[in-house]
Structure formats: C-alpha cells, structure tokens
Amino acid sequence: MKYVLMFVETEEFAKEFDAMTPDERQRAYQRVYQWFDDHRDKIRGGSKLQEPSTATTVRLDGGAPMTTDGPFMEGKEVVSGFTEIDVADLDEALRMVKTWPGCPVVEIRPVLEL
Amino acid sequence: MNTEEELARVVRDHAGRLAGSLVSLLGDFSAAEDLVQDAVEIALRRWPVEGIPDRPDAWLFTVARRRGLDVLRRQQNYRAKLQQLHWPVQPEPDDRLRLIFTCCHPALAREAQIALTLRVVCGLTTAQIAAAFLASESAVAQRITRAKRKITDAGIPYRIPQDDELPERLDEVLTVIYLLFNEGYLSSTAERVHSRDLVDDAEWLTALLYGLLPNEPEVGGLLALIRMHRARTAARFTPTGELVLLEDQDRTRWDHTAISDATSLLTRTARRHHAPGPYQLQAAIAACHSEAATWAETDWEQILVLYNMLLMLQPTPVTRMHRAVAVSYVHGPGSALAELDELSAELDAYPLFHATQAQLLRELGRDGEAHAADERAAALTTNPAQLGLLQERLAH
C-alpha cells in the first residue's frame, strides 16, 4: 500500500534546531539522510518544504476565491515536508516512522488509489 | 443458568472463531465481520424459540455462508471462495489472536477498540454493546463502521505482531480488556444484573488470551486480578442493592475457592518471571486484601510495598491516590492527607479522590471539611451505587 508521510515540525523543535551548532546540525541532517537511505527501497519521492511563512492559501468555499498569506491552518505545528512510501501495510509504515530521526510528529495517510 | 446467559456463552464461544476463519478466507475484515454479526443476530432471534442447536458452530457457519453467498453476490471472488468452503472448516490454529490484535490496533481510537473487540471477538451485537455502555445504538454502530473502514482503508493488517512489537501491542490489548473490566465492575449495580455483564466478557477474553499466549506474565496477572475481584462479588452489594465497601464486606460470602485459585495463578505466573508488571502488582494487592480474614488484619505494610513498586511502573495520580490509603494505615491519616493534597489539582474532577479525602478528614476529626469533600464527590459521581453510599454518609 502507498502512504504519504507528512512530517510535522513544532515550535519547540524549530527552536532546538536553531540553537544547534553547525556541527550538531550537520549530524542531525546526516541522521535524516541515513534514514532515507535505509528505507530507499520503500520511498517513492517527496520533498522538504520551505518555511510556512512562504505559504499562500486559497479558499474556494466562500463565493469568490480568497487568497491569503500563510498556511491554511495557523498553528504551532506545521507540515514541513512529505514523502510517499510503498509498504505492505500500516504496521510496516509504523515501523519505519518509529525510527524517523527528524521532526517530532509524523502523520501517516494512505494514498487513495484510483 | 438462564437461557440468556447460555445464549451469550454459546455465541461467544463460536462467533469470534468463525469471524477469524472468515476474515482469513475473504481477506476482508469488514465483509467477514458483517456476515458473522448477521448470523449472530439471526441466532439470537431463533435459538430462544427453536432451542440451541447441537452444533452451534456449524449452524452459525452455515447461516453466515448462506448470507455471504446472498449478500456478496456482486463480489465474484468472495462468492467463489465461500462456495468452496464446507463444514467442518479446517481446524487451524486459533485465529482469534489475530482478530484481537487487529481490533486493538493502536491506530484505532480507544472506544472503537473496545466496541470492535466486543462485537468481533465476543460476538456481542451492536444493541448489546450500546446497552452495556448506556450509549445509543446508532452511536455505537457508527463507531464500529468507522473503525472497520479505517482497518480497510489505512491498511491495518490482520496478523499477530512481530516479536519486537509484541510487548507494546499486547499492552494495548490488555488496556482494552482492563477498561472493559473496570466499566463492568464499577457500573454493576443490583438493578443492572440483567444487562450484559462486561466483567464476564473481560474475564473470558483474558482467559482466551492466556490460553493463546501462556508465556506472557501480564496476561496471567490481569486474569488473576479479574478473578480476585470477581470472587468478592456476592459481598459487594446489600440485598437491597447498595454498594458495600471492602472494609464493610462480609468476608465469609467471598468465594474462597476462587480466591485461592487466583492466588495460585498469580504465584505460578510470578515464579516463572522476574520483575512483575502492573497487572501482577495490582493482583497481588487484591490478593493481600483477599487473604486477610478481617479488614483489621490487612497487611498494609505489604500493600504499601506493592504500591511503591506499582508507582515506579505507573506513576499516575490515580495510583498515588490509592497508595495514600495504604499510607494512612501504615503512617497515619495525616501523612496520607498531605500526599493527597499534592494531587488535588490533577484529580479535582475525580469523585473517588474527594471521597478518599473525606474519609481521611473524618479520621482526623475534621468533620466539616469531610462533609464538604463528600458533597463534592457526590456532585461529581455518575455511578448510582457510589452516589447512594455518599448520600448515606452525608445524611449522618
């Protein structure tokens, strides 16, 4: 089954990350690269996203489309990236996500296969 | 044994087994489960009239299969599989373990896990579950439908977790059963003796799990805990249905054979494993109470040691609150009250917290404050038996 993993950052995580020395940051990136490499046979692409401050949201449910600055949900937790994986079932996705060394929250969503 | 109880027992013995086989066969949890539920509902309508058949398992199987051929007409592959299936179904290893782990998958909401386990593993109907939880039938039905949809759509597997996942997943299962037990135990009153006995279902599920996973000490611990409590059932209510606290129970009315059986189960479990888990510790605490001939002879020092161990594994405010009662007998009500005070913010909405506080205040002669705490407990509780007891206290 295909799932999309949505990586969610919290304010606290961002603060900790900013407080890291260049070396620590390098090691943190290294752990993430290693994770992608360990699971490369299951990963079908994805991207890291730019800051939520770069987001633009368009609402289409109120008559005329309304364009606003910022992510659709203003909050302390923001989606910071995503990746699509292809695994046997939810348990395999869970197993993978439990070793994720990056941001503190990951949402697993099955892909609707048409 | 009345007919209703016998029906429940027979259905429970066979429904989950049938569900397990059909899920394996069809590879579709939701469709298979619907067939079993239909068969159970038909059985509950017909068996009281026609009598329970000699082979209830074959009967349920035949009805479910026929329903399947009928209902799943459009799904050719299901039909083909069902057509090839004949009684007796191959005696395979008990599939109910897979069924339990799927129903209690951590990706499902707690309430959904409970409802699904009751329906799929124990063979309860949606109406029976709704009655047991004082919920509306449509709410329970919706909960079950959503959970089944999630199992299919999110790819929740139908399998026994791998070794490295087992402790965590088993924990989840035991939590579900423990909640079920608590719900049944605390809500049981004399007026509700005719409603479904969830305590019975909880014991049955734990015994099933114990048979399937005999080397898991916490399963044995939970089974001993449930049996230890059930052994006191006869003394828990007055003839007119009022709750009797452990302190005031007539201990000669306890089932002492059941107590000694539960104690040896606990001893056997403990002997084979080091470092007891939370259910074993709770069972051991219950055993201390059960072994005391009178309330005054209770070994509070031993109970306090067990609570200290439990607190290390389970540092929750509720555990600390129960521990405070043991503290009051070992170190006096003053120290116990001081410990309770530290919990007042976290447990302010918990009726038992205020009732415990009241008890300690009364022992310290602070009657006015005790009365206020009892009033607060009475205002918070939704349990009729507890309310009755509190009102009686307030009247004196």
**Does B155 sit within 8 Å of A1, measured CB to CB?**
yes
Please answer yes or no on whether B165 and A91 come within 8 Å at the CB atom.
yes
Question: A110: part of which helix (H) or strand (E)?
Answer: strand A105-110
Report chain B's terminal Cα–Cα distance, integer Å: 40
The rounded mean pLDDT for chain A is 92
* Of A96, A102, A100, the residue nearest A28 (C-alpha): A102
More confident of the two residues B182 and B93: B182
Question: Which one, of B71, B9, B14, B87, lies nearest residue B38 by Cα?
Answer: B71
Within an 8 Å CB–CB cutoff, is residue B109 touching chain A? Answer: no
Answer yes or no: do A90 and B153 touch at CB < 8 A: no
pLDDT at position B216 is 93
Q: List the CATH number of the domain containing A40.
A: 3.30.70.1060
> Considering Cα of B290, then B293, then B294, then B300, what sign does the dihedral take?
negative
Q: How many domains does chain A have?
A: 1
Q: Which pair of tokens denotes residue B245?
A: 């606290």
Q: CB distance B154–A94 less than 8 Å?
A: no
User: B280-306, pLDDT tens digit by residue?
Assistant: 999 999 999 999 999 999 999 999 999
Which of B225, B233, B137, B217 is closest to B181 using CA atoms? Answer: B225
CB neighbour class for A77 (10 Å; exposed up to 12, middle 13-18, buried from 19): middle
Q: Say which residue the tokens 């059909």 belong to.
A: B22
Residue B123 phi, psi (nearest 5): 70, 25
Q: How confident is the model at residue A99 (pLDDT cuts 50, 70, 90)?
A: very high
User: What is residue A67's predicted lDDT score, i.e. its pLDDT?
Assistant: 87
B159 and A95 in contact by Cβ < 8 A? no
A75 against B7, higher pLDDT = B7
- Residue B27 in contact with partner chain A when CB distance is under 8 A: no
- What is the domain extent for residue A29? 2-110
Kindly report the nearest CA distance between residue A25 and chain B, in angstroms.
31
Give the model's confidence band at B196: pLDDT under 50 very low, under 70 low, under 90 confident, else very high: low
Average pLDDT, chain B: 90
Residues of chain A contacting B161 with CB distance shorter than 8 Å: 91
Q: Of A14 and A108, which is predicted with more confidence?
A: A108
pLDDT for the residue B1: 46
- Domains delineated in chain B: 214-243+250-298 (no CATH), 301-396 (1.25.40.10)
A94 contacts in B (CB within 8 Å)? Answer: 107
Q: CB-based contact (8 Å) between A89 and chain B?
A: yes
Judged by a CB distance cut-off of 8 A, whether residue B163 touches chain A is no
CB atoms A91 and B153 under 8 Å: no
- Residue-wise pLDDT tens digits, B65-107: 999 888 877 777 777 888 777 777 665 667 899 999 999 999 9
Per-residue confidence band for B194, with pLDDT thresholds at 50, 70 and 90: very low
- Which pLDDT value is given to residue B190? 47
Residue B2's pLDDT band (cuts 50, 70, 90): low
CB contact under 8 A, A90 and B159: no
DSSP lists the bridge partners of residue A107 as: A6
Asked whether the bond before B93 is cis by omega within 30 degrees of 0, the reply is no
B74/B91 Cα distance (integer angstroms) = 29
Tell if the CB–CB gap between B156 and A91 is shorter than 8 Å.
Answer: yes
Whether the predicted pLDDT of B244 surpasses 60? yes
Whether residue A94 and residue B161 make contact (CB cut-off 8 A), yes or no, is: no
Residues from chain A contacting residue B29 (CB–CB below 8 Å): none
Judge whether B157 is closer than 8 Å to chain A, CB to CB: yes
**Searching chain A, which residue's CA lies closest to the CA of residue B107?**
A90
pLDDT over threshold 60, residue B154 = yes
B165 touches chain A (CB under 8 A): yes
B248 in contact with A, Cβ within 8 Å: no
Local structure of residue A102 (DSSP, 8 states): S
pLDDT in tens, B41-65: 999 999 999 999 999 999 999 999 9
Q: Does A60 touch chain B (CB under 8 A)?
A: no
Please give the residue of chain A at the shortest CA–CA distance from B165: A95
B159 CB neighbours in chain A (<8 A) are 91
- Residue B378 near residue B387 (C-beta atoms within 8 A): yes
Q: What is the mean pLDDT of residues A37-43?
A: 96
**Chain B partners within 8 Å of A5 (Cβ):** none
Residue with tokens 């026609």: B50
The string of pLDDT tens digits covering residues B206-227 is 999 999 999 999 999 999 999 9
Tell if the CB–CB gap between B157 and A94 is shorter than 8 Å: no
Does residue B193 sit at the A interface (CB-CB below 8 Å)?
A: no
The alpha-carbon gap from B120 to the nearest alpha carbon of chain A, in Å, equals 20
Of the partner residues A3, A91, A108, the one whose CB lies closest to the CB of residue B157 = A91
Q: What is the mean pLDDT of residues B182-208?
A: 77
Residue range A16-31: mean pLDDT, rounded = 94
CA A93 to chain B, closest CA, distance in angstroms equals 10
What is the four-CA torsion angle of B29, B35, B39, B40, rounded to 10 degrees? 30
What distance, in Å, lies between the first and last C-alpha atoms of chain A? Answer: 12
CB A36 within 8 A of CB A43: yes
